[in-house]
Amino acid sequence: MQVVYFDNNASTRVAPQVLEAMLPALGELCGNPSSLHALGQEAAQAVAGARAAVARLIGAASPARITFTSCGTEANATALRSAAAAAGQRRRIVTSAVEHAAVLEPLAELESQGFEVVRVGVDREGRLDPGQVLAEIDEGCALVSVMWANNETGVIHELAPIAAASRRSGALFHVDAVQAAGKLVLDCARLDPDFLTLSAHKLHGPKGIGALYARRGAPLRPLLRGGPQEDERRAGTENVPGIVGFGRAAQLAAQWLAGDGPARLAALRDQLERRLLEVIPASVVHGARSPRLPNTANLRFEGVSGEALLALLSDEGLCVSTGAACSSSRHRASHVLQAMGLSSAEASSSLRFSLSRDSTPAEVERAVELVARAVARLRALAHPGGTEVGARGRSAAPAE
């Protein structure tokens, strides 16, 4: 069976060039980058090259601003805890209601330790109003943490005014850019956040390697203490194969971003949405009117369980998701869609399709065919008498 993989916001396939770059690092390049002999220094050079490539991908002023971590979750935790440790008298943290669990959970922990955490909501289109965020930033604010783009809807947030207001008030500004990196051109030097989080496996790199960008002078406090690796910012022998893979993936992503890849991917995503709306009555695209990542589509099929649909589609060889991979396994309705004003039933009727730069028009057509058939089947099961949602005569619902 030909598998169509449209779950790239959960994880991507390692690019062949990335695998090729990693193989020597799993083989002959066996040295520890801290060792002074030739093999150690070769490994250290490979790490340095990867650091420079990751820095270039996000427009960082210098490779020295990049610290490799074991994943995006670790990079987020490092940034958030560092900010809390540097907070002094400031006790307020401002974030959005639609952050990933890797931000929300550490912030909930800080809340239990006495910080006031303000979670600013989004509108029906998934947009965060910078004005509402700014209204919460004051002299008592220690940290502002807002994601660049949402993992479930792809909605891109307007960060420049938030960065400027954070700076003015003396609060630290952290950006979770895990989903934005490799899909959007990021300019760290221009946005100038204090911390920014990345993860290789979202951009055709390997799993188990992330990075934290820290502005020069940002109060980074190691989460793991031990050896002096990563300029004393993250102890533990470097994951050389992972880092080399991340570096190559960053180079490839930068090349792709410089061409017409993003526009072509957005057109493919738009085609997927248009065709699904055309052939499936009572379907709705979430966040359609917002600026979004070029690869992400989130749709609701009224009257259908997203989980049942996902299972049927998986049997037919189409891999999609009901939300963030980690929360789907908890069987909870998406907090992101609920923050957009959807009821829990509506949120539970939704699916995320996340394409990649390798996705093709033929895969889109196959996905449309499979989803249409599965939705019709589930609706017929729910309403055997033929009064199913699709029989109400509503064709494509307006894109909300």
Catalytic center residues: 326
Does residue 287 belong to the site contacting ligand PLP (CB under 6 A)? no
Tell whether residue 354 is a contact of ligand PLP (CB under 6 A).
no
**What strands lie across the sheet with 296-301, from one edge to the other?**
283-285, 296-301, 350-354
The smaller minimum CB distance to ligand PLP, of residues 100 and 215, is found at 100
The four Cα atoms 144, 149, 152, 154 give a dihedral, to 10 degrees, of 150
Decide: helix, strand or coil at residue 133.
Answer: helix
- Interaction of residue 147 with ligand PLP, rule CB under 6 A: yes
User: How many C-beta atoms lie closer than 10 Å to residue 196's C-beta?
Assistant: 29
Options 51, 90, 92, 100; binder of ligand PLP; rule CB under 6 A:
100
Q: Please report how close the Cβ of residue 258 comes to ligand PLP at its closest, in angstroms.
A: 24
SS3 162: helix
Q: What are phi and psi of 145, to 5 degrees?
A: -130, 115
Position 151 contacts ligand PLP (CB under 6 A): yes
Residue 78 binds ligand PLP, judged by CB under 6 A: no
Residue 157 Cβ vs ligand PLP, minimum distance, rounded to whole Å: 11
Look at residue 149 and give its three-state secondary structure: strand
Q: Of these, 82, 95, 166, 199, which contacts ligand PLP (CB under 6 A)? A: 199
Nearer to ligand PLP, 169 or 327 (CB): 327
Q: Compute φ and ψ for 73, nearest 5 degrees.
A: -60, -45
Q: Where are the beta strands (DSSP E) in the chain?
A: 4-5, 66-69, 92-96, 116-120, 141-145, 172-176, 195-199, 210-214, 283-285, 296-301, 318-319, 350-354
Which DSSP helix (H) or strand (E) runs through 166? helix 160-169
Residue 72 as a binder of ligand PLP (CB under 6 A): the answer is yes
Chain positions 313 to 352 lying near ligand PLP, rule: CB under 6 A, are 324
Cβ of residue 150: shortest distance to ligand PLP, in angstroms? 7
166 binds ligand PLP (CB under 6 A): no
Interacting span for ligand PLP (CB under 6 A) from 15-23, 67-75, 105-113, 331-339: 67-75
Among 178, 214, 309, 320, binds ligand PLP (CB under 6 A): 178
Q: Characterise 129 by phi-psi region: left (phi > 0), alpha (psi -120 to 50), beta (else).
A: beta
Number of amino acids touching ligand PLP (CB under 6 A): 14
By CB under 6 A, name the one of 8, 12, 73, 356 that touches ligand PLP: 73
Considering the rule CB under 6 A, would residue 176 count as an interface residue with ligand PLP?
yes
Residue 269 and residue 199: Cα distance in Å, rounded? 23
User: In the bound complex, what is the minimum distance in angstroms from residue 394's beta carbon to ligand PLP?
Assistant: 33
Q: Which residue's beta carbon is nearest to the bound ligand PLP?
A: 72
Q: What angle do CA 74, 238, 217 make, to 5 degrees?
A: 60
Owner of token pair 């889109």: 364
Q: Which residues bind ligand PLP (CB under 6 A)?
A: 71-73, 76, 100, 102, 147, 151, 176, 178-179, 199, 210, 324
